[in-house]
Amino acid sequence: MLVRIVTRLHMMRLDTVKKATALVSLLILLAACTTTRSMQTTNDATIEDGALTVLLVEPDVRLSFLKASGIAEVRADWTRQGSENLLASMQDALAASDHEIISYSLNDAKEREIQLVRLHESVGETILLHRFLGVPLPTKENTFDWSLGPGVQIFSETQEADYLLFLFARGSYASSGRQAMAIGLAVAGVGGVGTGGQAAYASLVDTRTGDIVWFNVAQTGPGTDMRKPEGAASLIDMIFKEMPLLRKEGGS
């Protein structure tokens, strides 16, 4: 009774970790057979000319230590480093544009903001599954009209902006035991022992409608590392490659 919950909390934790691990593995799998394409909305939402205001929403990052047994353990310090590096890389990448870029820290007292970040996670997962991972939805064959809904206007209460930029990133880094086991078992003919990896997706969202006007996903193997500034920068470069805000600038 009193007790059961303690266990349940652990289960919950395991579930989240499992989900994150599954997502990372999925993304790595994806990289092996498809090339990632960035998606643009088919809704009537042409990105305006001229200087725009873009809110960089505090990225949703979770980095874990992948143990020999396959258990992933969240690391608070890596998560903070990764988050800081990604935010700095996003700022750098957008600094060259004419747009006004504002970093936005979530207000914990505003539950709706926290929920919208979670919503972005869910919608992003759904997009991945149905657009990138080979489970197409018949009703969305020729459309890309995903949206977070007009609830995103809540951000305007604190800071006026034309667009919101969300980033979701997960990564796991294998312990030396895990790496040794993967190599050893591979030599012995047993494959499929993951050694971690990193994945992230980003959405550019219209502040008035909540429509996702642009979406992209990228993953990297264990080689690059978002815990380091260069690793974060290369991940962001990959994701932002075809971002409309950046392309537009070159065209005008």
Partner 1 sequence: MRHTLFFRFAVTGFATLILVACETTNVAPIAASERPEETTDEAGLWLQMDETEKLLKSSALVENDEALNDYVQAVACRVVGPDYCPDLRVYVVKQPFFNANMAPNGQMQIWTGLLLRAENEAQLAFVIGHEFAHYRQRHSLQQWREIKNLANASLLFSMGTAVAGVPEAAVLGDFSIAARLYGFGRDKEREADELGFEFATQAGYAGEEAAAIWKYLVSEVENSDLERNRRAIARASIFSTHPVTSERIENLEALAAEAAQSGETAAAAYIEATGPFLASWLDADLVQSDFGKHIFLINHLLERDARQGVLYFRRGEAYRLRREEGDETRALEDYIKASTFEDVPPAAWREIGELQRRSGNQAQALEAYRTYLEKAPQASDKLLIESYVEALLQEQS
> For partner 1, which residue of 118, 134, 156, 237 counts as binding (CB under 8 A)?
118
C-beta closer to partner 1: residue 28 or 63: 63
C-beta closer to partner 1: residue 71 or 133: 71
**How far is residue 203's CA from residue 243's CA, in Å, rounded to a whole number?**
10
> For partner 1, which residue of 28, 41, 59, 75 counts as binding (CB under 8 A)?
75
Helix, strand, or coil (residue 173): strand
Which single residue is written with the structure tokens 């604190």?
158
**How far is residue 114's CA from residue 166's CA, in Å, rounded to a whole number?**
12
Least Å from the CB of residue 192 to partner 1 = 14
Cα 157 to chain centroid distance, Å, stands at 25
Residues 6+ away with beta carbon under 8 Å from 35: none
**How far is residue 117's CA from residue 120's CA, in Å, rounded to a whole number?**
5
| Contact status: 95 vs partner 1 (CB under 8 A) | no
| Contact status: 13 vs partner 1 (CB under 8 A) | yes
Residue 219 burial (C-beta neighbours within 10 Å; 0-12, 13-18, 19+): buried
**How far is residue 77's CA from residue 165's CA, in Å, rounded to a whole number?**
24
Residues 6+ away with beta carbon under 8 Å from 140: 130, 131
| Contact status: 192 vs partner 1 (CB under 8 A) | no
> For partner 1, which residue of 26, 71, 119, 133 counts as binding (CB under 8 A)?
71
C-beta closer to partner 1: residue 11 or 137: 11
Residues 6+ away with beta carbon under 8 Å from 67: 73, 175, 177, 178
Least Å from the CB of residue 47 to partner 1 = 32
| Contact status: 111 vs partner 1 (CB under 8 A) | yes
| Contact status: 73 vs partner 1 (CB under 8 A) | yes
Least Å from the CB of residue 72 to partner 1 = 10
In Å, how far are 5, 11, 13 from 1, measured between CA atoms?
7, 16, 19
> For partner 1, which residue of 39, 93, 101, 181 counts as binding (CB under 8 A)?
181
Encoded one letter per residue, x for contact with partner 1 by CB under 8 A and - for no contact, window 41-70 reads -----------------------x--xxxx
Least Å from the CB of residue 158 to partner 1 = 17
C-beta closer to partner 1: residue 16 or 91: 16
> For partner 1, which residue of 50, 139, 187, 250 counts as binding (CB under 8 A)?
187
